[in-house]
Chains A and B, each alone.
Chain A
Amino acid sequence: MDLIATGLGHAYDGLTVLDDISLTVASGEIVALLGPSGCGKSTLLRMLGGLERPATGRVEMRGAPPAASLNPLTYVFQDFALVPWRTVAGNVALPLEHHRLGADERARRVAEALARVGLSDFAGAYPRQLSGGMKQRTAIARAFAVEPAVLLMDEPLSALDAQTRDLLIEDLVRLWTETRFTAVYVTHNVAEAVRLGHRVVVLSRRPGRIRAIVEIAEPLDRRREGSPALGAAREQIWDLVRGEAAAADREMVHG
């Protein structure tokens, strides 16, 4: 299933935050959305998943989601959004419970999702007993349990320390290699965008517009630190980002 946004725009109380965003997310690709703080990335992601009504433009799905998909557009949140009164397994089971699944099928999905993120041994733990990385892996397991057609991830790693972040990025790369999931990955970290994105959409400062879309041909599982193709993409993206930051800086000075 592909996700298509056409001419999306949005304003909060007269403040335009997004302007004319058109974007197609093809099945099986990870699109990294990169932009400075406040440019409307979260707003865009909420509109893509139907949590916010766009002021202008529309979001459409093309093609059918996988047959086993219970929730085609599924979020992974920056603050994990785990329910503190449920165990790890209980959190993963939560979005399955209102679907007509047999108890066996539900248990199978939970076990499989936990195994995928390496949390099988922590099924009975409560969120307060988990490290930040384990919390986000629980949230990722919960997302995978409903077999999404498109994963919508809003800075899923930015609440984590650098080492945990690296580990989780490798987890995501492995998961993608295994399952070829489709995702929109919001970040303001260039390295993350370059590591995970098949395409990197660079947004301008507010009001967010698409400045450039950088394709990175290198396959995800073969991306290595210091490979020339990656280096070129990173340079190109850095130039775009730096230009935005400098412009924003001048704006601050001159009002």
Chain B
Amino acid sequence: MAEPAVPPAEGTTDRAYPPATASPSGAPIRPVPFRGGGFAPRSLRFGAPATFLGLLGLWWAATQYGWVSPLALPKPEEVGRAFLDLATSGLLWQHLAASLWRLGLGWVIGAAAGTVVGFAIGLSSLARSTALPMVSAMFPVPKIALLPLFILWLGIGEVSKVATIAFGVFSPMAIAAFGGVDGVDRNLVRMAQSFGMPTRAIVLKIVLPGAMPALLSGARISASIGIILLTAAEMIGARYGIGALVLSAGNLMATDQLVAGVLVLSAMGLTVSKGIAAIEKRVLRWRA
């Protein structure tokens, strides 16, 4: 459709286009409408605290005004008091120390083994044809289902719990590492070979840094999986540990302690994720 030579009458202009003004020659002139921007979400500075405060307020109001039964959900101040009691009696630290120890050990063993196996799958045909099918078959098995077996093999103590966590961390880490190695730019590998760099140096200086983004995202995912398995394992048989705390509080209908324990688990997850984000920021500075 041809453009009208004179500005259209008021009220008839297309809403998408600002009204045109006449140029000396009579042809309409109008600004080019802006249609770029967007699709670039940023973290707003006060977004996270505001969200938490909002949720806290909602929780407070729901318990204060009797929207939910006090049996179902304790008041925030009760949870706070339970948390303080746990902290001052030293019980919290005993639980937390037990959990962190299991998680740390299980995660380090599982992640180290997963990274090594993932690298082997990414670098050697032998490992690719043997270990990859094994990892793929293992990945979908809910590892907590193996805990009873581990207890039979390794006893009810720490080893079976750590083994469950390590096992659960292993497959996602192996798959992340293997994907990361596969994604390393082959031209860089050829370059390194063309300079006569030994295989060891190529793996350490080209493949490892190239796979680092994938390794870090694998670490993030596997740490969350580790926390889930940790809690589950502690619920099945442990005296100390946040999972044990939550379970025994539930058995006693002590919802205030229960919620305090759940919040500690959430804080644990957040801390791990913040820690990995900080490492990412340092290690992947070159990407910025």
If A77-B187, A83-B206, A85-B209 touch, does A95 touch B195 (CB 8 Å cutoff)?
Answer: yes
Question: Interface residues of A, CB < 8 Å — how many?
Answer: 21
- Return the chain B residue nearest A52 by Cβ: B190
What residues on B are CB-neighbors of A84 within 8 Å? 286-287
What residues on A are CB-neighbors of B212 within 8 Å? 85
Asked if residues A98 and B198 are in contact (CB atoms below 8 Å), the reply is: yes
Interface: B11 (CB within 8 A): no
Asked if residues B196 and A81 are in contact (CB atoms below 8 Å), the reply is: no
- Return the chain B residue nearest A126 by Cβ: B286
| Total cross-chain contacts (CB, 8 A) | 49
Question: Interface residues of B, CB < 8 Å — how many?
Answer: 20
Asked if residues B197 and A85 are in contact (CB atoms below 8 Å), the reply is: no
- A86-101 contacts to B, CB under 8 A, are 86, 94-95, 97-98
What residues on B are CB-neighbors of A224 within 8 Å? none
Interface: B201 (CB within 8 A): yes
Interface: A20 (CB within 8 A): no
Bound: A225/B190 CA distance, A? 37
Q: Which of B190, B201, B205, B209 contacts A51 (CB 8 A)?
A: B190
If A83-B188, A83-B206, A85-B209 touch, does A51 touch B196 (CB 8 Å cutoff)?
Answer: no
Interface: B194 (CB within 8 A): yes
Measured CB to CB, the closest approach of chain B to A246, in angstroms, equals 34
Q: Is the interface of B mostly helix, strand, loop or mixed?
A: helix
The 8 A CB mask of A115-153 against B (1 = contact, 0 = none) is 000000000001010000000000000000010000000
The 8 A CB mask of B271-287 against A (1 = contact, 0 = none) is 00000000000000011
What residues on B are CB-neighbors of A75 within 8 Å? 191, 194
What residues on A are CB-neighbors of B136 within 8 Å? none
Asked if residues B197 and A98 are in contact (CB atoms below 8 Å), the reply is: yes
Interface: A79 (CB within 8 A): yes
Interface: A43 (CB within 8 A): no
What residues on A are CB-neighbors of B209 within 8 Å? 83, 85
- Return the chain B residue nearest A152 by Cβ: B194
Known: A70-B196, A75-B191, A85-B210. 18 other contacts (CB 8 A): A49-B194, A51-B194, A71-B194, A71-B196, A74-B194, A77-B187, A77-B191, A79-B187, A81-B188, A83-B188, A83-B206, A83-B209, A85-B212, A94-B197, A97-B201, A98-B197, A126-B286, A128-B287
Which residues of B line the A interface, CB within 8 A?
A: 187-188, 190-198, 201, 205-206, 209-210, 212, 286-288
22 A-B contacts (beta carbon < 8 Å): A51-B190, A51-B193, A71-B194, A71-B196, A73-B194, A74-B194, A74-B195, A79-B187, A83-B188, A83-B205, A83-B209, A84-B286, A85-B210, A85-B212, A94-B205, A95-B195, A98-B196, A98-B197, A128-B286, A128-B287, A128-B288, A146-B195
